Structure 1
Amino acid sequence: MPATLEPIKAFKCTFAGCAASFDMEKQLISHKKNDDEHDYCSNCDLDFESYEDLARHKAFTPDKHGKACRICGEEFKSESGLKRHTELSHKVKQKLPCIGCGEAFPAPALLIEHLEFGHCDVISGQAFMGHVVHGHLVAKLLAGGEAHTRFMQKISQYDASLDQEEEGGVGIENVLEDDHEDAKAVNHPAIQPECSKDEVAHAESWPALSAQGSTAIRSSTVTSAMGRMSLGSLDAGSGIHTMQNPTAPTQNSRHQAKAWGGRSAKELFPQAKPTPAPEKEFSIEAVDEKMEHDHGGNIFNTRFWDPLAKEWDPKRFYNGMIEKYFCPFMCEQCFVDTAELRDHIVVDHRLSRAKCPYCLKYFDSITALMCHCQSRGSKCQVNKADDFGKFLNRLTGGFLSVQEKIRPDFIQNETVMVYNSEAREMEKYTPPTVKYLEYTSSKPMDWRKPTKVAAQIGGGSTSGSFNYKNQQARW
Structure 2
Amino acid sequence: MPAPLEPIKAFKCTFAGCAASFDTEKQLKGHKKEDDDHDYCPKCDMDFESYEDLARHKAFTPDKHGKACRICGEEFKSELGLKRHTEMAHQVKQKLPCIGCGEVFPAPALLIEHLEFGHCDRISGQTFMGHVVHCHLVAKLLAGGEAHARFMQKTSQYNASLDQEEEGGVEVENVLEDDHEDARAVNHPAIQPECMQGDVPHAEPWPALSAPDRTATRSSTVTSAMGRMSLGGTDAGSGSHTRQGSAATTQNPRHQAKAWGGRSAKDLFPQAKATAAPQKEFSIEAVDEKTKQAHGGNIFNTRFWDPLAKEWDPERFYNTMIEGYFCPFMCEQSFGDVTELRDHILVDHRVSRAKCPHCLKYFDSITALMSHCQSRGSKCQVNKADDFGKFLNRLTGGFLSVQEKVRPDFIQNETVMAYNAETREMEKYTPPTVKYLEYTSSKPMDWREPVRVAARIGGGGASGTFNHRKEQAHW
TM range (shorter): 0.7 to 0.9
Quote the offset at 1:311 in angstroms.
Answer: 0.5
- 1:249–1:439 Cα change, 3 Å: closer
> Where does residue 134 of structure 1 map in the other structure?
134
What is the alpha-carbon distance in structure 2 between the residues aligned to residue 45 and residue 208 of structure 1? 107
What SS does structure 1 have at the residue aligned with 2:433? coil
User: So what's the TM-score if we normalise by structure 1?
Assistant: 0.79
What SS does structure 2 have at the residue aligned with 1:219? helix
Amino acid at match of 1:472: Q
Quote the offset at 1:6 in angstroms.
Answer: 2.0
Is the aligned partner of 1:219 residue 2:219?
A: no
Moved more, 331-340 or 429-438: 331-340
Taking the TM superposition and a 5 Å limit, the aligned residue runs for 1:56-95 are 56-95=56-95
> Where does residue 218 of structure 2 map in the other structure?
205
What is the alpha-carbon distance in structure 2 between the residues aligned to residue 399 and residue 144 of structure 1? 25
Deviations 1:68-126 (Å, cap 9, x if unpaired)? 00000001110000000111111111121111111222211111111111111111111
> Where does residue 270 of structure 1 map in the other structure?
none
Quote the offset at 1:244 in angstroms.
Answer: 6.5
What is the alpha-carbon distance in structure 2 between the residues aligned to residue 34 and residue 429 of structure 1? 30
Unpaired runs of 5+ in structure 2? 173-210, 257-276
Is the aligned partner of 1:146 residue 2:170?
A: no
Unpaired runs of 5+ in structure 1? 170-199, 210-216, 230-242, 262-276
Taking the TM superposition and a 5 Å limit, the aligned residue runs for 1:326-341 are 326-341=326-341
- 1:301–1:207 Cα change, 3 Å: farther
Is the aligned partner of 1:448 residue 2:448?
A: yes
- Asked if the contact 2:95–2:104 (Cα under 8 Å) also holds between the matched residues in 1, the reply is yes
Moved more, 49-58 or 316-325: 316-325
Quote the offset at 1:466 in angstroms.
Answer: 3.3
Deviations 1:350-409 (Å, cap 9, x if unpaired)? 111111111111111111111111122222111110000100100010111111111111
- 1:218–1:323 Cα change, 3 Å: farther
- 1:144–1:206 Cα change, 3 Å: farther
What SS does structure 1 have at the residue aligned with 2:292? helix
- 1:424–1:460 Cα change, 3 Å: same
User: So what's the TM-score if we normalise by structure 2?
Assistant: 0.79
> Where does residue 270 of structure 2 map in the other structure?
none
Quote the offset at 1:204 in angstroms.
Answer: 4.1
> Where does residue 371 of structure 2 map in the other structure?
371
Highest RCO, 1 vs 2 (Cα 8 Å, sep ≥ 6)? 2
- Asked if the contact 1:59–1:73 (Cα under 8 Å) also holds between the matched residues in 2, the reply is yes
Quote the offset at 1:428 in angstroms.
Answer: 0.8
- Asked if the contact 2:310–2:469 (Cα under 8 Å) also holds between the matched residues in 1, the reply is no
Is the aligned partner of 1:418 residue 2:418?
A: yes
- Asked if the contact 1:11–1:28 (Cα under 8 Å) also holds between the matched residues in 2, the reply is yes
- 1:425–1:282 Cα change, 3 Å: same
- Please report the RMSD computed on the Cα atoms of aligned residues, expressed in angstroms: 3.2
Quote the offset at 1:443 in angstroms.
Answer: 0.8
What is the alpha-carbon distance in structure 2 between the residues aligned to residue 434 and residue 154 of structure 1? 50
| Percent of aligned pairs with the same amino acid | 78
> Where does residue 3 of structure 1 map in the other structure?
3
> Where does residue 53 of structure 1 map in the other structure?
53
What is the alpha-carbon distance in structure 1 between the residues aligned to residue 103 and residue 463 of structure 2? 15
> Where does residue 304 of structure 1 map in the other structure?
304
> Where does residue 382 of structure 1 map in the other structure?
382
Amino acid at match of 2:20: A
> Where does residue 178 of structure 1 map in the other structure?
none
Amino acid at match of 1:151: F
Quote the offset at 1:342 in angstroms.
Answer: 0.9
What is the alpha-carbon distance in structure 1 between the residues aligned to residue 163 and residue 278 of structure 2? 31
- 1:223–1:445 Cα change, 3 Å: farther
Is the aligned partner of 1:245 residue 2:241?
A: yes
